[in-house]
Amino acid sequence: MKTGTIILLVILAVLVGILVALYFFGRRMQEKQEQQNAQLQASKQPFVIMAVDKKRLKLKESGLPDEVINNTPWYAKRAKVPVVKAKIGNRFMNLIADENVFDYIPINKQVKAMISGIYIVEVKGMRGQKLVSDNPVKKSWWRRQMDKLREKAGAKPVK
């Protein structure tokens, strides 16, 4: 065999080994995440909260307890987390919101929230309020052009 084909085979074998290792690592991480979600769902409690402020901050800047920051893995310490400063009863607390819930938390309005520890899992409106996202989905250039053409043709734009 030529040396070029041997080198290609070695590189291919290394890449296959890396892919197999990533597959098993990802599977193990997924199992851990499912266990953590089960624990969160089991320990959630309903509260009426009023969000005073919400931001995406680095963990050290978030104002969370030192115990939380120290128990966070090294690879997650630099990531920005959705932090909500909320009034629960007569206390102000810094809470971490779920990514799916963060955009639906209104500022200076009371909402019913399911909280597990310092983690906001779910949010529902009070007295039938419909919660809407602060960040509406931005239309792409193609969608805007199609809406203009439909409007010129006399049809209603698609939402």
Task: Give yes or no for residue 129 having a pLDDT over 80.
Answer: no
Residue 143 sits in the same domain as residue 94: yes
Residue 20 sits in the same domain as residue 54: no
Residue 56 sits in the same domain as residue 113: yes
Residue 24 sits in the same domain as residue 73: no
Residue 119 sits in the same domain as residue 150: yes
Residue type, 155: A
- pLDDT, tens digit, for every residue of 51-75? 999 999 998 888 888 898 899 888 8
- pLDDT, tens digit, for every residue of 115-124? 998 999 999 8
- pLDDT, tens digit, for every residue of 76-103? 888 899 999 999 989 999 999 999 899 8
Which pLDDT score, from 0 to 100, does residue 32 have?
94
Residue 100 sits in the same domain as residue 136: yes
Residue 84 sits in the same domain as residue 157: yes
Question: How many whole angstroms separate alpha carbon 50 and alpha carbon 130?
Answer: 16
pTM of the model: 0.68
- pLDDT, tens digit, for every residue of 20-44? 999 999 999 999 999 998 998 899 9
Residue numbers of the domain that contains 5: 1-42
Q: Average pLDDT, whole number, for the chain? A: 89
Residue 6 sits in the same domain as residue 77: no
Specify the residue for token string 């901050």: 57
Task: Give yes or no for residue 134 having a pLDDT over 80.
Answer: no
Task: Give yes or no for residue 158 having a pLDDT over 70.
Answer: no
Domain count, the chain: 2
List, in sequence order, every beta strand (DSSP E) within 11-102: 45-58, 80-88, 91-97
Residue 51 sits in the same domain as residue 114: yes
Residue 37 sits in the same domain as residue 66: no
Residue 33 sits in the same domain as residue 54: no
